[in-house]
Structure 1
């Protein structure tokens, strides 16, 4: 028996959407007549489950690079060890006291290497501890969680327990923690009582470095001197701010911290500061009051201040909740005043 609903297959055909033979599923029957086309709408489920994250995560590269690094490191270590062993044997062949002196110096070098490695690891762990503490305090303030704020502030007090300049702030904050206070208010009190003096010192560090960069790059006749000065001051700012807030990074810790500062600048748009900074400076009428060279110095100083602001945000163990934190405008006025004073002193020398 033949099914009456069975139709022979249709040949492919092309239709325009405005053709009268095109039928919409909502207005016509579901089975189009001969020579007609049926257009159906597919409704996508907006709440459809997403694919797992692994589907869009790039796979890690091959481990051949790691093998190469491990192999080269092992060969270098073996070559150094064999060279030291050969040297000590030669010293013993000459005389015993030279051999024992070589052994003592080698032991001293090994002890120094172990101590250096331990210090670098401790510095990295301190920076990681500060990053984790800042995130926990931010979460406690966002959720107004008093218990989480209490636990996080205990870790904050432990960071500064050996800092005599924070004794009054630690005592005041400990008294607040014994009271029933909301989580966000506790974090704000920590900013006011414990971190305020450190924040003021951090602003002075950034301001002084920005002034030095501004003056040196304004009077320096060579671009290389400007570059070295800016590099030196930026490294100095990051190290001093990290030490001020309790980080005390070693070499590896400093590299990690510098990467965080650059990442923070990239996220906040600080690296694309050329045109905006120029417009800000010109908006203050600097072009009419300063020479072109001093104007360049002011811009370099503002760029240094931006890096300092990013370093404060990265090195500070707590987020800015009660205040917005430092901004470029906080440093601009003093930089301009310093540049104008430099201009007036030069004009006075010229007239005399």
Structure 2
């Protein structure tokens, strides 16, 4: 019997090869080398870490002992110099007096800075109490106090004048607080956002270009301290050296407690999006994530230094800040405009 010309051609199959994994769930994971923002994560945890217990006692006693030793050594040096060379001793004594005066002025500035920070905290507590009790008189007192607090600031003069005209006609406590926020903080928020964008741009560029792990952590930490200090100055806190570190520690502790210091998939996709940065260079991707974490620190610093919480005015978003700050640095980010 002859075969039909249109009959199918069949190839006998041999034994099939064994699969590498019995089930898809047992397959080896893919190598996902995504940026993690290691520099900013380490810098934030370093800032939030404080001496507690025996560590605090050790540093306090060590600082006291070092101050005592330096004071005794300086006294012995001055007395010996006065005995041997009276003229040079008088010059050294005058320089020491000037140095002590400078130290005293710096101490007074630090105390004044802590006092202004405490006043910011009182404003925030008064706003919460007025909102909870719906007390119009308390809201009026708060609004007038904030207007006096920012009275010498030219950038808020127009808003303060409009607020003074409209405040007397308002009968609701919440309306007075919202009008105070719009009148006094619209310009200040814009200045704070510009500081955050500049700091995010600098941190992103520094951590992307500096190859040393410790160096990029120090660069990120120093830039965040500077950013927090500038934000405090914008909102009238005028923090000194120790006040800036106190604010940095408060902000870092808040970020760690709320989990915002970690880098999640939502943050990577919202910041990097469809950009090719992470595929072309992981180091540039690290820079972008570090810049985004810096923006998070800046927003937290705004919330800490701002006398009123965000209500009438929108709270800045990380994706918008990082998109505006990194435009033109690594190429236009996909997050820009979101």
So what's the TM-score if we normalise by structure 2? 0.73
2:275 corresponds to which of 286, 293, 303: 286
Q: Is the 8 A contact 1:298 1:335 kept in 2?
A: no
Would you say 1:112 and 2:112 are equivalent positions? no
Please give the alpha-carbon distance, in whole angstroms, between the structure 1 residues aligned to 2:134 and 2:307.
Answer: 18
1:249-307 per-residue CA deviation (whole Å, 9 max, x = no partner) reads: 1122112111221132134321123443224345x212489623433322121111111
1:101 corresponds to which of 87, 91, 102: 91
Pairwise CA distance, 1:109:
2.3
Q: Say which structure, 1 or 2, has more relative contact order (CA 8 Å, 6+ apart).
A: 2
Matching residue of 1:307: 297
1:202-250 per-residue CA deviation (whole Å, 9 max, x = no partner) reads: 1111112212322343344444453333223212210110111111111
1:151 corresponds to which of 138, 141, 160: 141
Matching residue of 1:182: 172
2:114 corresponds to which of 111, 124, 131: 124
Please give the alpha-carbon distance, in whole angstroms, between the structure 2 residues aligned to 1:184 and 1:162.
Answer: 26
Provide runs of 4+ in structure 1 moved above 6 Å. 68-71
2:256 corresponds to which of 242, 252, 266: 266
Structure 1: gaps of 5 or more residues:
1-60, 344-352
Matching residue of 1:81: 71
So what's the TM-score if we normalise by structure 1? 0.70
1:214 corresponds to which of 179, 204, 215: 204
5 Å-filtered alignment, 1:226-241, equals 226-241=216-231
* Root mean square deviation, CA, Å: 3.0
5 Å-filtered alignment, 1:159-174, equals 159-174=149-164
Please give the alpha-carbon distance, in whole angstroms, between the structure 2 residues aligned to 1:119 and 1:254.
Answer: 13
1:249 corresponds to which of 223, 234, 239: 239
Please give the alpha-carbon distance, in whole angstroms, between the structure 2 residues aligned to 1:157 and 1:201.
Answer: 18
Please give the alpha-carbon distance, in whole angstroms, between the structure 2 residues aligned to 1:75 and 1:304.
Answer: 37
Q: Work out the number of aligned pairs and report it.
A: 281
Identify if the C-alpha distance between structure 1 residues 221 and 178 changes in structure 2 by more than 3 Å, giving closer, same or farther: same
